[in-house]
Structure formats: structure tokens, C-alpha cells
């Protein structure tokens, strides 16, 4: 006997993980925008006879940024785990700590940009170096803003074990930004 | 004031979709007028000067090419999807309706800025290098297009999330109606590729104001900015604007034939494959290193160009088979929506065939090495014209099919057939003549002088095509205006539809949709095999 649609009971309308799904799409788009800039950097560097003069870019500060970003992956996942366990205090602390790591990275990157003394109009190398780091800073700021919003929403009780997808979404976007820096660190700073 | 307040605060996906459609139609009229003017100029560019100089001609030429994709085809498809997709997947609304509303207003703002900035002397570069007088207007054009892209990305985000997260129970991804599925594929490709275009615009913008002048500043040549963004209207990326053609075909043909579509899963797979082959962010000739193999001679480019034939041929074959099986149901003149769906499919097939010819290197449709580097022949524009007009024709077919859901009005069928035939005929003449011109080495640049006499004849054929497209577009607008004025109300399901949108009453579900057990849920209660 053929099963007929109308003979069956009406299904519940579900809204599973809408924010998380949208964030995944948005993160993919953000990553591609960043990759668009980074690939042009790589392409122009491959075509150039000479790129940066030796010793202009130091590896140390960029390495500290990388280490900080790796640490932040653990703290942001700590926040997800804590909110799923309804451990609000730990969730607040983990979100706050991740945001603090973001601020530290901003500070260190600002130092790096000033330390190089590059100018936008200087050369293709200087222009693209500043652009890659500038675009990364923009995504970093947006990730910190996302975390702050999530922190505030968690604080007023909008997230909990039954509804934790907002925190998971913020963590996913944060991890995407960490991935951006990991690639930048290797391509721009290590393999310069 | 209440109307404006409602327009700025509505969360109704049908209304938001109608805003997209109105914007797209308005810009379509602007584009066809510009297309006719460019066609007149193209027939004798050396002695005709409609735009007031080479620079203005180049700017309008570039606007037409980029605009046909991002300002006309994209909003028409997004508008249709915003109205239909939530209903098709059994949802009461689109995901994030406020974001969807922000997207449409952002698009209008961006489109307005882009058009005004070009009219003010901006555009995507300047033939004789960027001067101080042009710099601000060019920067404004880039900002406007940036707004357009961000808005399209936001709308894509809402639509893709709707299909992934808001499907009714039982509707697996493989049971998703083909139009909704094609929109998911389209939005995914847009979300992965349009941000790269945004990166190109950002580099050009910063360089224009503060950079070394290599990527768009006054030290660069005429094609510096256009060259960086032209990949978006060239194969394979241009196919990304026509993915929904296959979804519209797959939604309209089975309903018209009155039979369940065979091999729904295979059709979905073909649409997915076409989406994969439309991913073109990697194909940017502007950033090709000196001494490397030209991008259009690389294996991947050739493979993508040839493989794109497969899904389109498969989808057309499937549509033909469905029509054959439902032969008894099709009597008299074909419905306007069927003309639109099949016309869109045929144009897309012509486009991918022309694209396949382009990647066959001995034909030199991509441009021989002694031509202007990275531009190619007019066949490049021919492929874009055929593919983008396929998207527009299929979208117009969709208007006639889903008119009851879009505005509640029945659109006049005869006027629809005439308008669509005009559009299809015009597209064949315009795009076909451009592709044939490519065989005679006509360079894809407005200021290039054709090397063969036949190019002049083909330019006149192109102009006739542009005029026909203009008449078709006017016919579409007239038909919609007539339907709204006479108020011919459509029934909720005028065609005997197969998917959930046809179960809505006045565009809303009277009760929650029942458990879905196949890709054609409205046929299930007739006892047919799933």
C-alpha cells in the first residue's frame, strides 16, 4: 500500500542549529575573502624579482601571535563545553579569556605593522603585506565582536545546555579566524 | 509613511522577494537600453560616439557586462528564490528575515551607487589611465559594487540556511525540490567565490587611494581594474549565475507534463556537478605570472569547460524524457512558463557548448598570443551573454509559473509567450553573433578594430538581438503591469503542482505540512509510487 502524505500526522516544524549553519556558511565566505587577498600576495611574490629586504620582518612577534591564537582555540572550546554543561561561570570566564587573547593579538599585530615601517604606497610587497595583515585585523575584530555579543547573550540567559548553538557558532567563527592566521603566519612570516 | 515603515521593517519573505524582483526588473530595463546603445556604437565604433568619448564607452561596456550578472540575473534569481524556496521546503518564512530585508535594501543602495558612480565618470578603470578627476568616481563604483556583493552574500546566507535548516520533517536533501536544491548549490558557490571578488575590489580600492598604483591606481593601464574582476563574468564562474536554470527546468517540466520526474536524485546530482564546475575563483587571468602557461591553456580550465557540457546535456535530456512520458498532457500552445524553462535550458546549453569550443585551444577563441593579453576574443562575451540571458529567461519563466505565489496574480499567457520568444531569439542572435565573431579574431574590447569585414555584419546581428531582448523585457514588464492593473487573481494551485509551495493558501500554510515521503509530496496522496 502506498503511504499517503496527508494520512500521516503533521510533522513538527523544527529549527535545528540555524545560527550554527549560517555561521558555517559565513565563515566559509570570510575565509575565501581572506584567501582571495592572500593568494594575490603569494602570486605577486612568486612573480617578483625581490620581495622584502632581509631582516625587515622579525619572526618572533608573529610567532607569539600564533601561539596566542592556538591557546585561544582551547579557551573558546572550553566555553562551548561549559555552556553545554550549564557551567555558566566557566563559560563566562572562557569567553572573556578568548576575547582577551583577541585583544592581545591585536596589540601584537599593531606592533608588527609599526615595526616594519612599511607604507601602502611603498611597493607591491609592502602594500600587500599591509593589506593581508589589515584584512586579518578586520576579521579578528569581527570575531571579538561576535564573542562579545555571545558573552552578553549568555549573561542574560539566552544560552544554556538546551540552546548552545550561539556559543558553538561564535567558537566556529573564532576557529576560522585562527586558521586564517595560521596560514598567514606560515606564508607571510615563516616562508618569506 | 506607513507604507515606507512597513517596507523597512517587514519580515515577510514574499514581500522581500518582490523587492528583489522589482529591483531586478528595473535594472533589466536599464541594461537592455544600455545594451542597445552599445550595440549601435559597436556597429561603427570609429565614427559613432553615443557616450562622449572612448573612456565613457569603455566604462558603459564594462558596466553592462558586470551589471548583467550582478545587477540583473542575480537579483531576479534571488527574488524568485526568496519567495518560493521557503514555501517549497515547507517553512513558514526564510531564515533570518531581517538579514534578508537588509540584503535587499543593501542591494538597492549598492546598485544605485554603482550606476550613479559610472554615470559620474567612474567605472572599472579608465582607458587612458586614471586621473584625479576620475579617481573618486571609480572608487565610488567599487564601493557600490562591494555593497551589491555583500548584499548578495547575505541573501545567499539566508537562502542556504533556509534549505539546510528549515526543511520540513521527512524532506531529506535528496527529496528537496530541484529549484530549492539548485538555489542551495548556487548560494554555496556564490558564498565561496563572490568573497574573492570582494578581495579583488578591496585591493583595487586601496591601491586607487594609497597604493603603489599597480592594481588600479594612476600608474596602471586601462584594464587594471576591469581585468581583476572580469573573471566573474567569464567561464567557469559565469555558470554560477545559471545554476538555477536547471532547477527551474526540473520544477516546471514535470508539472507541465503531469508526471513525476524520473531519477530525481540523478537530476540533483547533475545540478551539484554543474555547481562544482561553476566554481571559478581560481581562474583569474589578471594575476597570471609572466612566463607561466596562459590560464585558458591549463588542464583544469580545459577540463572544467568540457565537463560543464555533461550536467546541462543530462538535465536537458531528463527534461525531454519527462515531456515524452507526459505527452498526452501537453496539448495546444506550450505554456509561457514551459517556454521560459526550455528556452533557458537551450540558451544555457548553447552557452556551455560555446564555452567548450573556447577551451579547445586550436580554435583560438580565448585569444591568440598576439592579441591584447588576457582579454580573448568576443566569444568570451558571447558565452557570458548566452549564459546570463539563459538565467534571465528561466527566471522570467519562473515568474509565470510561480505568479500565484509571488503576487497572487495570473500573468497573461500569450504576452508571456511573445516576450519570452523575443528574449530567447534576441539572446541567440546577440550571443551567437558574438561567439561567431570570435572565430574571426574580433577582440573582446570595445575599442578594438575588427580584423575581418564579416565582423561588421555580425555586429548588426548582435544589435538586432539586443533590440529583441529590449522588446522582450518591455513585454515582461507590460505583462506584469497588466496583471496587477486588471487584478486577475490566480488560484492557489493553477498547474497541479507537485511540491509544497502549491499546498499554501494565499502564500501561507493553512496547517503544518505533513511528513514528506518523496520529492513530490503533493503527488503522494494520489497513491502514486514514490
Q: What is the DSSP string of B495-525?
A: T---SGGGG-BTTB-SSPPBPP-SS-HHHHT
* Count of C-beta atoms within a 10 Å radius of residue B50: 12
- Predicted pLDDT at A151: 94
β partners of residue B443? B377
CA pair distance B434, B382, nearest whole angstrom: 5
SS (H, E, C) B230-289: HHHHCCCHHHHHCHHHHHHHHHHHHHHHCCCCCCHHHHHHHHHHHHHHCCCCCCCHHHCC
Q: Are B402 and B411 within 8 A, CB to CB?
A: no
Return the H-helix or E-strand segment holding B399: helix B379-401
Q: Rounded CA gap, B274 and B351, in Å? A: 13
What are the backbone dihedrals phi and psi of residue A163, each rounded to the nearest 5 degrees, phi first? -145, 85
Per-residue model confidence as pLDDT tens digits over A117-130: 899 988 899 999 99
Nearest to B200 among A36, A44, A127 (CB): A36
Give pLDDT < 50 ranges for chain B. Answer: 369-372, 528-530
Higher pLDDT, A101 or B169: A101
List C-alpha distances in Å: A162 to A86, A133, A172, B416. Answer: 9, 38, 18, 51
Distance of CA A48 to the CA centre of its chain: 30
Partner-chain contact A40 B203, CB within 8 Å: yes
Q: A142 — contact with chain B (CB < 8 Å)?
A: no
pLDDT at A11 over 80: no
- Count the Cβ atoms, other than its own, within 10 Å of residue B7: 14
Instruction: Answer whether A12 touches B (CB < 8 Å).
Output: yes
**DSSP state for residue A187 in the 8-state scheme:** I
* pLDDT, position B525: 64
Q: pLDDT at position B286, please?
A: 81
Smallest Cα distance from A185 to chain B, Å? 19
Which pLDDT value is given to residue B372? Answer: 45
Residue of A4, A7, A29 best to disrupt the B interface, most CBs of B under 10 A: A29
Q: Determine the pLDDT at residue A5.
A: 54
Burial of residue B258 (CB within 10 Å: 0-12, 13-18, 19+) is: middle
Q: Is A64 helix (H, G, I), strand (E, B) or coil?
A: helix
Give the pLDDT score at A16: 67
A141, A106 Cβ separation under 8 angstroms: yes
Measured between beta carbons, which residues in chain B are less than 8 angstroms from residue A45?
none
Place of cell 514514490: B530
pLDDT for the residue A52? 83
Of B195, B200, B514, the CB nearest to A5: B514
Based on the number of CB atoms within 10 Å of its own CB, is A54 exposed (0-12), middle (13-18) or buried (19 or more)?
A: exposed
The Cα B274–Cα B313 span in angstroms is 11
- The whole-angstrom separation of Cα B476 and Cα B485 is 14
The three-state secondary structure class of B43 is: helix
Give the three-state DSSP class for B306. Answer: helix
pLDDT for A185 equals: 94
Quickly state the pLDDT bin for A2 (edges 50, 70, 90).
very low
- Of A86, A81, A67, which is closest to residue A171 (Cα–Cα)? A81
CA distance A125 to chain B (A): 10
Cα gap A11→B514, rounded to integer Å: 5
Note the pLDDT tens digit of each residue in A131-173.
999 999 999 999 999 999 999 999 998 888 888 899 999 999 9
Nearest-by-Cβ selection for B169 from A14, A120, A126: A14
Question: Residue B203 and residue A26: Cβ atoms within 8 Å?
Answer: no
Task: Give this prediction's pTM.
Answer: 0.94
Q: What is the dihedral of CA B257, B262, B265, B270, to 10 degrees?
A: -70
State the pLDDT at residue B4: 87
More confident residue, B446 or A33: A33
**Which residue on chain A is closest to B284 by alpha carbon?**
A40
B212 → closest Cβ in A8, A9, A122? A122
A27 CA: distance to closest CA in chain B (Å) = 10
Q: What is the pLDDT of residue B403?
A: 95
Question: Which residue in chain B is spatially nearest to A10 when comparing CA positions?
Answer: B514
Question: Cβ contacts (< 8 Å) between B520 and chain A: which residues?
Answer: none
CA pair distance B176, B385, nearest whole angstrom:
30
Residues 6+ apart with CB under 8 A from B143: B113, B117, B205
Distance CA B250, CA B239 (A): 17
Q: Which residues pair with B505 in a beta bridge?
A: B508
Nearest to A190 by CA among A58, A86, A95, A50: A58
**CA of B285, closest CA in chain A: separation in Å?**
12
Q: Which residue, chain included where needed, has cell 534578508?
A: B100
Evaluate the CA torsion angle B209, B213, B216, B218 in order and state its sign. Answer: positive
- Who among A32, A122, A124 is closest to B281 (CB)? A32
Q: What is the mean pLDDT of chain B?
A: 89
Q: Which residues of A touch B90 (CB under 8 A)?
A: 13
Among B391, B364, B388, B389, smallest CA distance to B378 is for B364
Nearest to A37 among B199, B513, B517 (CB): B199
Q: What is the pLDDT of residue A7?
A: 55
Place of cell 558596466: B63
Are the C-beta atoms of B489 and B408 separated by less than 8 Å? Answer: yes
- Within 8 A by CB and 6+ apart from B200, the residues are A36, A40, B228, B229, B284
CA dist B419 and B432 (Å) reads: 19
For chain B, count helices (H), then strands (E): 18, 0
C-alpha cell of B200? 579583488
**Cα B316 from chain centroid (whole Å):** 18
Three-state DSSP class for residue A85: coil
Cβ contact (<8 Å) for A122 and B91?
Answer: no
Cell numbers standing for residue B513: 505540512
Determine the pLDDT at residue B528: 47
Q: What local confidence, expressed as pLDDT, does residue B529 receive?
A: 43
Distance between first and last Cα of chain A? 69
Element (H, E) at A11: none
Q: From CA A192, how far away is CA A82, in angstroms rounded?
A: 40
Instruction: Give me the mean pLDDT over the A17-45 stretch.
Output: 95
What's residue A1's pLDDT?
42
How far is the C-alpha of B252 from the C-alpha of B232, rounded, in Å? Answer: 28
Position B162 scores a pLDDT of: 96
Q: What is this model's ipTM?
A: 0.92
User: At residue B508, what are phi and psi to the nearest 5 degrees?
Assistant: -135, 150
DSSP per-residue codes, B405-472: HHTSBPPPHHHHHHHHHHHHHHHHHHHHHHHHHHHTT-BSSTTPPPSSTHHHHHHHHHHHHHHHHHHH
Asked if A33 lies within 8 A of B198 by C-beta distance, the reply is: yes
Report in angstroms the alpha-carbon separations of B317 from A181, B306, B310, B522: 47, 17, 10, 25
Q: What pLDDT shows up at residue A135?
A: 97
Cβ neighbourhood burial of B313 (10 Å; 0-12, 13-18, 19+) = middle
CA B165 – CA A143 distance, rounded (Å): 23
Q: Least CA distance to A41: which residue of chain B?
A: B287
Residue B36 C-alpha, separation from nearest chain A C-alpha, in angstroms: 35
- Contacts across the A-B interface (CB distance below 8 Å): 142
Alpha-carbon distances of B354 from B255, B305, B426, rounded to whole Å:
30, 9, 17
Tens digits of residue pLDDT in A43-91 = 999 888 888 887 788 888 999 999 999 999 999 999 999 999 999 999 9
pLDDT score for B44: 78
CA distance A34 to chain B (A): 7
Which tens digits make up the pLDDT trace of B219-267?
A: 555 567 888 899 999 989 999 999 999 999 999 999 999 898 888 999 9
Residue with cell 572599472: B124
Cβ atoms within 10 Å, residue A111 = 13
Chain position carrying cell 503533493? B522
Quickly tell me which residue has 505533513 as its cell: B514
Q: Which of A2, A5, A125 to mutate to test the interface with B (most CBs of B within 10 A)?
A: A5
**Does A14 score more than 90 pLDDT?**
no
* Alpha-carbon gap: A127 to the closest alpha carbon of chain B (Å): 6
**CA dihedral sign of residues B491, B497, B502, B505:** positive
As given in the structure block, the three cell numbers for residue B425 are 531569439
Q: Which residue of B has its CA nearest to A40?
A: B287
Residue A173 CA to residue A21 CA, distance in Å, equals: 11
CB B58 within 8 A of CB B127: yes
Amino acid at each position: 500500500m502506498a503511504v499517503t502524505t496527508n494520512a500521516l500526522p503533521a510533522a513538527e516544524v523544527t529549527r535545528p542549529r540555524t545560527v550554527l549553519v549560517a555561521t558555517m556558511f559565513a565563515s566559509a565566505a570570510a575565509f575565501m575573502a581572506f584567501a582571495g587577498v592572500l593568494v594575490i600576495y603569494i602570486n605577486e611574490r612568486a612573480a617578483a624579482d625581490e620581495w622584502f629586504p632581509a631582516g625587515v620582518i622579525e619572526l618572533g612577534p608573529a610567532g607569539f601571535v600564533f601561539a596566542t591564537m592556538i591557546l585561544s582555540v582551547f579557551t573558546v572550546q572550553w566555553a562551548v563545553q561549559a555552556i553545554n554543561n550549564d557551567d555558566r561561570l566557566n563559560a563566562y570566564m572562557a569567553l572573556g579569556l578568548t576575547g582577551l587573547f583577541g585583544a592581545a593579538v591585536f596589540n601584537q599585530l599593531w606592533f608588527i605593522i609599526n615595526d616594519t615601517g612599511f607604507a601602502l604606497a611603498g611597493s607591491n610587497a609592502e602594500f600587500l603585506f599591509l593589506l593581508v595583515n589589515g584584512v586579518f585585523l578586520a576579521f579578528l575584530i569581527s570575531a571579538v565582536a561576535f564573542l562579545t555579543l555571545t558573552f552578553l547573550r549568555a549573561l542574560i540567559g539566552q544560552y544554556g545546555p538546551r540552546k548552545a548553538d550561539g556559543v558553538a557558532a561564535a567558537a566556529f567563527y573564532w576557529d576560522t579566524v585562527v586558521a586564517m592566521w595560521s596560514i598567514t603566519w606560515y606564508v607571510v612570516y615563516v616562508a618569506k | 509613511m506607513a507604507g515606507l515603515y512597513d517596507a523597512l521593517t517587514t519580515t515577510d519573505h514574499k514581500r522581500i522577494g518582490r523587492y528583489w524582483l522589482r529591483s531586478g526588473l528595473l535594472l533589466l530595463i536599464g541594461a537592455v537600453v544600455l545594451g542597445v546603445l552599445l550595440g549601435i556604437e559597436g556597429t561603427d565604433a570609429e565614427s559613432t560616439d553615443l557616450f562622449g568619448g572612448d573612456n565613457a564607452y569603455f566604462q558603459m561596456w564594462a558596466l553592462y557586462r558586470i551589471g548583467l550578472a550582478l545587477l540583473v540575473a542575480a537579483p531576479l534569481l534571488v527574488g524568485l528564490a526568496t519567495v518560493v524556496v521557503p514555501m517549497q521546503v515547507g517553512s513558514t518564512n526564510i531564515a533570518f528575515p531581517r538579514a534578508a530585508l537588509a540584503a535587499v535594501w543593501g542591494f538597492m543602495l549598492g546598485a544605485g551607487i554603482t550606476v550613479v558612480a559610472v554615470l559620474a565618470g567612474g567605472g572599472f578603470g579608465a582607458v587612458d589611465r586614471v586621473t584625479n578627476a576620475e579617481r573618486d568616481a571609480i572608487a565610488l563604483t567599487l564601493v557600490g559594487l562591494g555593497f551589491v556583493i555583500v548584499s548578495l552574500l547575505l541573501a545567499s546566507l539566508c537562502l542556504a540556511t533556509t534549505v539546510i535548516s528549515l526543511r520540513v520533517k521527512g524532506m531529506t536533501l535528496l527529496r528537496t525540490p530541484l529549484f530549492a536544491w539548485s538555489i542551495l548549490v548556487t548560494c554555496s558557490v556564490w558564498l565561496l567565490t563572490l568573497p574573492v571578488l570582494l578581495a579583488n575590489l578591496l585591493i583595487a580600492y586601496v591601491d586607487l587611494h594609497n597604493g603603489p598604483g599597480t592594481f588600479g591606481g594612476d600608474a596602471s593601464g586601462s584594464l587594471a581594474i576591469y581585468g581583476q574582476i572580469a573573471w566573474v563574468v567569464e567561464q567557469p564562474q559565469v555558470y554560477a549565475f545559471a545554476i538555477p536554470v536547471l532547477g527551474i527546468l526540473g520544477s516546471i517540466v514535470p508539472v507541465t507534463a503531469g508526471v513525476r520526474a524520473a531519477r530525481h536524485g540523478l537530476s540533483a546530482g547533475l545540478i551539484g556537478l554543474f555547481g562544482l564546475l561553476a566554481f571559478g575563483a581560481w581562474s583569474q587571468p589578471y594575476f597570471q605570472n609572466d612566463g607561466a602557461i596562459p590560464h585558458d591553456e591549463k588542464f583544469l580550465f580545459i577540463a572544467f569547460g568540457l565537463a560543464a557540457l555533461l550536467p546541462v546535456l543530462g538535465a536537458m535530456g531528463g527534461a525531454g524524457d519527462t515531456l515524452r512520458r507526459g505527452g498526452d498532457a501537453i496539448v495546444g500552445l506550450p505554456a509561457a512558463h514551459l517556454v521560459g524553462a526550455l528556452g533557458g535550458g537551450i540558451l544555457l546549453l548553447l552557452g556551455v557548448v560555446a564555452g567548450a569550443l573556447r577551451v579547445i585551444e586550436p580554435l583560438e577563441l580565448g585569444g591568440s598570443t598576439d592579441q591584447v593579453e588576457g582579454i580573448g576574443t568576443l566569444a568570451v562575451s558571447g558565452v557570458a551573454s548566452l549564459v546570463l540571458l539563459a538565467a534571465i529567461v528561466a527566471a522570467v519563466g519562473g515568474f509565470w509559473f510561480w505568479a500565484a505565489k509571488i503576487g497572487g496574480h495570473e500573468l497573461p499567457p500569450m504576452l508571456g509567450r511573445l516576450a519570452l520568444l523575443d528574449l530567447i531569439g534576441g539572446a541567440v542572435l546577440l550571443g551567437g553573433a558574438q561567439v561567431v565573431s570570435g572565430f574571426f579574431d574580433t577582440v573582446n574590447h570595445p575599442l578594438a578594430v575588427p580584423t575581418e569585414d564579416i565582423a561588421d555584419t555580425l555586429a548588426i546581428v548582435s544589435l538586432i538581438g539586443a533590440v529583441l531582448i529590449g522588446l522582450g523585457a518591455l513585454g515582461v514588464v507590460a505583462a506584469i503591469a497588466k496583471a496587477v492593473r486588471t487584478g486577475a487573481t490566480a488560484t492557489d494551485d493553477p498547474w497541479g503542482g507537485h511540491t509544497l509551495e502549491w499546498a499554501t493558501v494565499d502564500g501561507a500554510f493553512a496547517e503544518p505540512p505533513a511528513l514528506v515521503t518523496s520529492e513530490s509530496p503533493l503527488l503522494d496522496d494520489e497513491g502514486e509510487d514514490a
